Structure 1
Amino acid sequence: MTSKSDLWTIRPAQEEDTDVLSDIYLRVRRMTFLWVDPGKFQSEDFAGHTRGERVFVCEDRNGTIAGFMTLWEPDDFIHMLYILPAFQGLGAGKALLAALPEWPSRRYRLKCLVKNTRAIAFYRGLGFTIIGDGSSPEGDYKDMQLGTN
């Protein structure tokens, strides 16, 4: 599945994207999760953390990878959505989500760290609601679902 707009192309990740996606995952986590020791994040994390997931890549008009999203399909669970800082606020995250099958009518779920207030606001603005709470090694999180009241 490939989706294209005036600004973004969303496509399945390919083997040759792995190094770039691993770098984005490492860089954005270190820049966003300031409350976690940056040494806990490693380049190899991407391969292990995305095993078995469907990975979507977002490219700008020039073919530069702006970010990615991963989906654990059996549970309609959006595991990751990472956008490089230079592309944040420009619609890349929305384009990735809009490329999901049956978006926005399917009840996709995700977890968002409580301290990541910007991301929580982003997801709430797209219609996600908080349906629960949890805790992880990176901190407390909100369990969120699309389309619930």
Structure 2
Amino acid sequence: MYIHAGAGWHIRKYETSDGQACMSIFMSCLRKFPWRGAPRPYVARLIRSLPGAKIWVAEEPNAGIIGFLTLQPHDAYIDHIFVHEDWRFCGVGRGLLEVAREEAGQPLTLDVDTQNFGARKAYEALGWHVAASAGEDKGRSQIRLVSP
């Protein structure tokens, strides 16, 4: 579906056997967001989002799953995008977003924590822009971003 020949990874549709690897990446990333607190509600939210979502994984033959993205296709909304920390700045997030954009056929939206400066900088570099405040969730504020 999407291949980054130089880095050796590719993107494909999610398979149920990918679940444990995706959850491991998800939990690792949540630990990097201390303002979010306990992971339990976020894990529940991820699990609830899966039935209606289109899901892709980035995979490298030696490392296995290195990232994943969930898209709610009816409104082109990205629920989750997470990349293993060893594979950041390798184009994995960009590739996942490109596949989702192609599938949606329209600009994408997502919400990002205002305190997640790394993600905000990455989206800005990809041409995303702030559409609105996405409100507050348990004391943390978010902004809604729209893709080009």
Q: How would you bin the TM-score normalised by the shorter chain? A: 0.7 to 0.9
**Alpha-carbon distance in 2 for matches of 1:74, 1:122:** 25
Q: SS in structure 2 opposite 1:56?
A: strand
Alpha-carbon shift at residue 79 of structure 1 (Å): 1.2
**Alpha-carbon distance in 2 for matches of 1:104, 1:54:** 10
What is the TM-score with the length of structure 2 in the denominator?
Answer: 0.86
More helix by share: 2
Equivalent position of 1:126 in the other structure = 126
**Runs (5+) with no aligned partner, structure 2:** none
1:54 aligns with 2:63: no
Q: Residue 61 and residue 132 in structure 1: after superposition, are their counterparts in 2 closer, same or farther (change >3 A)?
A: same
Equivalent position of 2:3 in the other structure = 4
Alpha-carbon shift at residue 112 of structure 1 (Å): 0.6
**Runs (5+) with no aligned partner, structure 1:** none
Equivalent position of 2:136 in the other structure = 135
Alpha-carbon shift at residue 83 of structure 1 (Å): 0.6
Equivalent position of 1:67 in the other structure = 67
**Alpha-carbon distance in 1 for matches of 2:39, 2:112:** 21
Q: What percentage of residue pairs aligned between the two structures are identical? A: 21
Query: What amino acid is the match of 1:65?
Result: I
**Alpha-carbon distance in 2 for matches of 1:12, 1:46:** 17
Equivalent position of 2:31 in the other structure = 30
Q: SS in structure 2 opposite 1:99?
A: helix
What is the TM-score with the length of structure 1 in the denominator?
Answer: 0.85
**1:36-47 aligned within 5 A:** 36-38=36-38, 40=40, 46-47=46-47
Please give the per-residue CA displacement for 1:15-51, whole angstroms capped at 9, x wherever unaligned. Answer: 10111111211121122x1113235467665423433
The size of the alignment, in residue pairs, is 145
User: Cα RMSD over matched residues?
Assistant: 2.3
